Structure 1
Amino acid sequence: MIIEDIKEGYKKTKLGWIPEDWECVTIGDYYEFKNGLNKGSEYFGHGTSIINYKDVYSLNHIYRKKIHGLVDVNESERKRYSTKKADLFFTRTSETVDEIGLASVLLDDIPNGVFSGFVLRARPLNEDIFPSFAGFCFRSEIVRKEIIKKSTYTTRALTNGSYLSEVYFALPPINEQKAIANCLSTWDKAIEKQEALLKAKQQVKQGLMQQLLSGKKRLPGFTEEWKKVVAGKIFKSISIKNKPNHELLSVTQDRGVIPRDMLDGRVTMPSGNLNTFKLVKKGNFVISLRSFQGGLEYSNYDGLVSPAYTVLEEISNINRDFYKYYFKSYEFIERLSTAVIGIRDGKQISYNDFCIVKIPSISVKEQKAIANVLNTADKELEVLNNQLHKLKEQKKGLMQQLLTGKKRLKF
């Protein structure tokens, strides 16, 4: 038998130890659930405001100014699927259990507002829960674990009002709820400010890319006219196979070519012989299926990719960083899109499609100077990203302490 020490000022509950003046209750004790509105696509884009899945998924607090979805509804639908301040919403279905049952609370009244069938509305039965506190409480780690435990998964993760009603959470007295909400809101404001700084810096970088990678803006000391040549004069297609002992790589639009074990979530690994897979070397570029939407991908790793991909290697001396940025520029993506107009969805862009696209052929010295400017911008973005990550981790830790009663605030 394990004898557990009694913690002074705390009591043992289904959720573990919580302060004596807190209650261990279920969501169903305080909220009544309702499924949302489902309509055909022709009804969306005009009409009244609608709270969509993305709004609930992205935000723990919903404000009227951040709701952009519109839907055409009749009077009966408006009443049945109404929204009002303090309503709590949960994501109802998702491809993964990690995204199921994410909660967000409405902190503004939205005149004639309704909510989507992809979310659930939980309307308060009383005023015992401070609205802003609810937005934090139901996103806490301990409550998320309970929600995920009670969800179902077949082809998609799913939850409903009955499951959510049975989820337990720790409820402090109302004054402590307000204090906790105010404290965590301070972190939210800091995070929002940091996100705004990051977005502004990203826009500056995009402006630099558009100017520098098109030749519209020249760096000091460079006056030679820019030349454009077909890509086939600078890059060649390579196909090195029978190298099965290398690690498997994935081609992504946001992170370039990376090892598969760096991907989040479940990854389907190929079975059988890898001799047909192509070898990618560090510094190679890869043409992916969606290159005409997101540009070519650069690899910092040696490894294998599916034989469906086209692997590129430079023919002459170049600055790889320059072309890494250029292949992600609007100018290049537009040029590539023009070259593959009429391509059928699902058809791989070939080397022949790529090699006729005209790209800059400028001195390696100027390539390097431009790449240095953009590398500096990336380093500044990395600093801001790290600061943002630190703020989010601090908030996460604080939530874990405050929403379980392990740390108490003076109020």
Structure 2
Amino acid sequence: MVPNGWKIKKLDEICEINPRKPSEPDDCFVSFISMSQLSEDGRIISKDTKNYDEVSKGFTSFKDNDVLVAKITPCFENGKGALVNNLTNGIGFGSTEFHVLRAKKTSDPQFIFYLTRTNAFRARGTMNMQGSAGHRRVTTDFIKVYKVLTPPLPEQQKIATILSTWDKAIDTTERLIDNSKQLKKALMQQLLTGKKRLLDDNGKPFEGEWVSSQLKDITDFIKDGTHGTHKRYESGIPMLSAKNITKQYTVDFDDAPRISEEDYNKIHAKYTIKSGDILLTVVGTLGRVAIVPDELVEKFTLQRSVAIMRVNAQSAYNQFLKQLFSSSEFTNLLHRKSNSTAQAGIYLGELGKLKIDLPPLKEQQKIAAVLTNTDKEIELLEQQLADLQQEKKALMQVLLTGKVRVKV
């Protein structure tokens, strides 16, 4: 059903498709944007300045307020594209794998941009790709005849303004996340090396000496997961690998293979995994770390890509070690000590010999608390970002189809 006042139009009725190359500017300089300089969420990551003669042949041309859409697989499916602005002299060139959409006078460029961001446009374009495997492309003919619901220009502009408000909120939240991560990185460099000392419970800087210890001396055992081959089932006990240890220091059971209770009991006849144990990835993706939580909903076992460490509570604090293990310095150390095979890995003997500097236990706890609070702030911002992205997605669905009308 077509909303009142809206019309069904082909894209080439509301915009020019792949328009002609613009004339050379007076000072000869233009912007250049490669495919890698576009993000999958519709933004320009960066752009270069080039001489017009250098790029005017063999590349795709565009101007300020043009919409770029990647034509080749998998860039099209992944959402590569952008509304370009602030180009040098208002002119740009870029990858030959771009389609260019230029709004006509009765259309709003930002509205057209949002049309190209819809799931419907991407899905239909993917179905109509042509070419050989690995080189399939969305054709110009598809872009031209693709039909869209089109409101009058004032309503297009209002819809675009509303959606751009969400984009600005998303951008702001992403910057806050980046800033918080940089702050945490700086804090880790200061606190985990003793360059900055926190205050103790009496309000005075900690003064105790830091002690260099090998990992095998501060953990009751260092062990990796099972080396045996076990039959896999759709249900049963999860067997986690490195991919199940998340960047957020948590254990994720999604897509984990399952083994039988009998095999689980054989693996854990001599040891069990307990709450508080540290899990560290030591094969493939090195340095992912998590602590087994107290309120674990189900028991699990591990593949050999994950090491288990039970901390000696008299010497070290597991939350401090978690933060230390997540630092780029420790990850680099793991890589330096890893074997030279195709898949990086560190032997448990070598892992146990690694030396780390430990402050007094009370200071470890304070440092861990500060860094954990920073993690919680980042996690909260990331949840806010996910909410904003979901809200924008829902808004696009109702605004671009006229299911919800805006007041102009």
Give the TM-score normalised by structure 1.
0.75
CA offset at residue 256 of structure 1? 4.7
2:281 maps to amino acid: I
What are the equivalent positions in structure 2 for 1:2-401 lying under 5 Å apart? 17-29=1-13, 30-33=15-18, 49-60=31-42, 62=44, 66-68=45-47, 75=54, 77-78=56-57, 80-94=59-73, 98-99=77-78, 102-111=80-89, 113-117=92-96, 119-124=97-102, 126-151=104-129, 158-161=136-139, 162-221=141-200, 222-235=206-219, 236-239=221-224, 241=226, 245-252=236-243, 254-256=247-249, 258-259=251-252, 261=254, 281=273, 283-290=277-284, 295-298=287-290, 300=292, 302-307=299-304, 309-314=305-310, 316-317=312-313, 318-340=316-338, 343-401=340-398
Residues 324, 350 of structure 1: CA spacing in aligned structure 2 closer, same or farther, 3 A cutoff? same
CA offset at residue 190 of structure 1? 2.2
CA contact (8 A) 1:49 1:67 kept: no
Per mean C-alpha deviation after superposition, the further-off stretch among 368-377 and 106-115 is 106-115
Residues 79, 128 of structure 1: CA spacing in aligned structure 2 closer, same or farther, 3 A cutoff? farther
Residues 356, 332 of structure 1: CA spacing in aligned structure 2 closer, same or farther, 3 A cutoff? same
1:376 maps to amino acid: N
Report sequence identity in percent.
Answer: 24
1:351 maps to amino acid: L
CA offset at residue 233 of structure 1? 2.1
1:402 maps to amino acid: L
What's the CA shift string for 1:298-323, capped at 9, x where partnerless? 2547534443x151323522422211
1:320 maps to amino acid: N
Residues 187, 209 of structure 1: CA spacing in aligned structure 2 closer, same or farther, 3 A cutoff? same
CA offset at residue 275 of structure 1? 5.8
What's the CA shift string for 1:111-161, capped at 9, x where partnerless? 5632124x4222437333211212222212443343344347996594322
Per mean C-alpha deviation after superposition, the further-off stretch among 167-176 and 147-156 is 147-156
Per mean C-alpha deviation after superposition, the further-off stretch among 281-290 and 326-335 is 281-290
SS where residue 242 of structure 2 aligns?
strand
CA contact (8 A) 1:230 1:357 kept: yes
Residues 219, 115 of structure 1: CA spacing in aligned structure 2 closer, same or farther, 3 A cutoff? same
SS where residue 349 of structure 2 aligns?
helix
Residues 374, 316 of structure 1: CA spacing in aligned structure 2 closer, same or farther, 3 A cutoff? same
1:168 maps to amino acid: K
1:40 maps to none
Distance 1:131 1:327 in 2: 48
Distance 1:250 1:33 in 2: 48
CA contact (8 A) 1:85 1:108 kept: yes
CA contact (8 A) 1:51 1:114 kept: yes
Residues 179, 298 of structure 1: CA spacing in aligned structure 2 closer, same or farther, 3 A cutoff? same
Distance 2:50 2:58 in 1: 14
CA-based RMSD: 3.8
Residues 25, 54 of structure 1: CA spacing in aligned structure 2 closer, same or farther, 3 A cutoff? farther
Distance 1:113 1:148 in 2: 27
CA contact (8 A) 1:237 1:310 kept: no
Per mean C-alpha deviation after superposition, the further-off stretch among 165-174 and 48-57 is 48-57
CA offset at residue 224 of structure 1? 1.0
Distance 1:385 1:95 in 2: 26
CA offset at residue 328 of structure 1? 1.2
Per mean C-alpha deviation after superposition, the further-off stretch among 386-395 and 297-306 is 297-306
Per mean C-alpha deviation after superposition, the further-off stretch among 278-287 and 369-378 is 278-287
1:182 maps to amino acid: T
Per mean C-alpha deviation after superposition, the further-off stretch among 276-285 and 74-83 is 276-285
Residues 175, 278 of structure 1: CA spacing in aligned structure 2 closer, same or farther, 3 A cutoff? farther
Tell me the matched-pair count: 369
Distance 1:404 1:203 in 2: 40
Give the TM-score normalised by structure 2.
0.75
Distance 2:131 2:321 in 1: 44
CA contact (8 A) 1:27 1:167 kept: yes
1:51 maps to amino acid: I
Distance 1:322 1:153 in 2: 54
